[in-house]
Amino acid sequence: MVNVTKRYGEILAAENINLQVENKEYMCIIGPSGCGKTTLIKCVAGIIEPTEGEIYTDNKLMNNVPIQDREIGYVFQEIALFPHMNVYENVSYGPTVKGWTSAKTRSLIEEMLNMMALRDRVKDYPHVLSGGAKQKTAIARALSSGSLLLLFDEPLGSLDAKVRTVLRHELRRMVKELELTAIHVTHDQEEAMAIADRIVVMRAGRIIEIGTPLELYLHPKHLFTANFVGESNFMTGQIVAATSGGATVKINGEFLHSAKKVNFKEQKVVVAIRPEFIVMTHPERTTRTWEGRIENKVFIGSTVRYEVRTENGELIAVKRPFASDALKWNVGNRVSLAFPPDSILLYPYPEEGLQKAISIE
């Protein structure tokens, strides 16, 4: 996509988007409601035309190419199955109209039906299927269509949480085995991390950043990403010393050391740290730890999430893996928090204010 912009009257749904998706890549686009992610994928599909800019697939300009000539398979939020065809006929529609009747095509269709657990439903028509079963039929149809580029808009959105985690692995596995290229829009950042080679983070019609799941999680370039992709603690402070080996930040009278080299001039900064990287121990006053008291404890299955009020007044979320020491802490306990320097990220304090910069609405 080269300089793609889409306007609806006064509303700018997508603004000057430049994006390159590689052959056989699995790309996810994430962002809050209304960020323009669906607009973008519909431009690729040809369902809407961009106001400005060009879209190429394999160096062929796609602007004004009719939808049916774009050789794209897609699954959209609003599921569109052929109502007069049963599940099998829907899934085998692409190969059938292309005249592919080989044993290999038939076995691919069979595999799709098995993978989506639709074996028992092949003779059913869409109107008797649940939302989830319709969605699975639509996915199976797209994978069998023979198109090398697949577009998914919330393909797992109408499914139960548990089913979603099972199917996302299957979806990636099939796309990789069939050597397809996929662009997958989702509001679920965990789904994106589990499934994507690279992730595009969008906000208010613009691309904020692009990276592998690991890059976005461990080294987000923007504050917004640090908040949207996984949970982070944010604190405001002043840089008091900076060297090539990192920086020391003063936050409400306490100090933190980051191993990240500061590459900006501002002295006022936002410090971000993931709740699971903070080390919580029994009180042991050293210069390297902050003291505090547990105000809240919530059990979330494989992890426990604590909120610790530190002596300098910050409320800090800490996540501990359940398997280790979660049972020994309770609300009211006094604890020490240590912040590993290599997991402390620093950002210049944003002009619009911290809350605005990380807002997901």
Partner 1 sequence: MPSLRLLNVTKRFGKITAINNLSLEIKDGEYVCVLGPTGSGKTTLLRLIAGTLKSDEGAIYIGDRLVNDVQPQERNTTYVPQQYALFPHLSVIENVAFGPTARGLSRKEAYEVSEQMLEMTRLARRAKSFPNELSGGMQQRLALARGLASGADLLLMDEPLGALDARLRVELRYKLRSLVKERGLTAIHVTHDQEEAMIVADRIIVLRNGQVQQEAAPFTVYNRPINIFVAHFVGGANFLEGFVAEADQQGSWIQLRNGLALRTRETGFSLGERIVLMIREEMTQTLRKGKRKEEVNLLSATISSVSFLGSFIVYEISLENGDVVNSKVPTSLSKENISVGEKVYVRLEPEHVKTYPYPTAGLYKELEVI
Residue 326's alpha-carbon distances to 115, 267, 273, 329, 338, in angstroms, are: 38, 37, 20, 6, 17
Residue 25 interacts with partner 1 (CB under 8 A): yes or no: no
DSSP 8-state assignment for residue 98: T
Binding to partner 1 (CB under 8 A) within 125-164 occurs at: 130, 132, 136, 160-163
| By the rule CB under 8 A, 343 interacts with partner 1 | yes
Q: Give the residue, chosen from 181, 189, 233, 258, that forms a contact with partner 1 under the rule CB under 8 A.
A: 189
Minimum distance, C-beta of residue 324 to partner 1, in the bound complex (Å): 8
| Residue 32 C-beta: closest distance to partner 1, Å | 6
Give the amino acid at 73: G
DSSP letter at 352? Answer: T
How many distinct helices (H) and strands (E) make up the chain? 11, 21
Distance of CA 330 to the CA centre of its chain: 33
**Residue 361 found at the interface with partner 1 (CB under 8 A):** yes
Burial of 286 (0-12, 13-18, 19+ CB in 10 A): exposed
Query: In sequence order, what are the beta bridge partners of 250?
Result: 238, 255
Residue 319 touches partner 1, criterion: CB under 8 A:
yes
CA distances 266 to 56, 121, 136, 341, Å, are 40, 61, 51, 20
Instruction: Name the one residue in this structure whose structure tokens are 């919330």.
Output: 154
* Burial class of residue 186 in the structure, from the number of CB atoms within 10 Å of its CB (0-12 exposed, 13-18 middle, 19+ buried): buried
Could you say whether residue 214 binds partner 1 (CB under 8 A)?
A: yes
Smallest distance, Å, CB 33 to partner 1?
6
Q: Are the beta carbons of 27 and 197 closer than 8 angstroms?
A: yes
In the complex with partner 1, the residue whose CB is nearer, 136 or 141, is 136
**Which one of 47, 65, 85, 194 is in contact with partner 1 (CB under 8 A)?**
194
Binding of partner 1 at residue 274 (CB under 8 A)? yes
Q: Does 311 bind partner 1 (CB under 8 A)?
A: no
Judged by CB under 8 A, which of 103, 301, 351, 352 binds partner 1?
301
Closer by beta carbon to partner 1, 62 or else 256: 256
Catalog residues that contact partner 1 under the rule CB under 8 A: 32-34, 117, 130, 132, 136, 160-163, 166-167, 169, 187-191, 193-194, 213-214, 217-218, 228-231, 274-277, 298-303, 319, 321-323, 343, 360-361
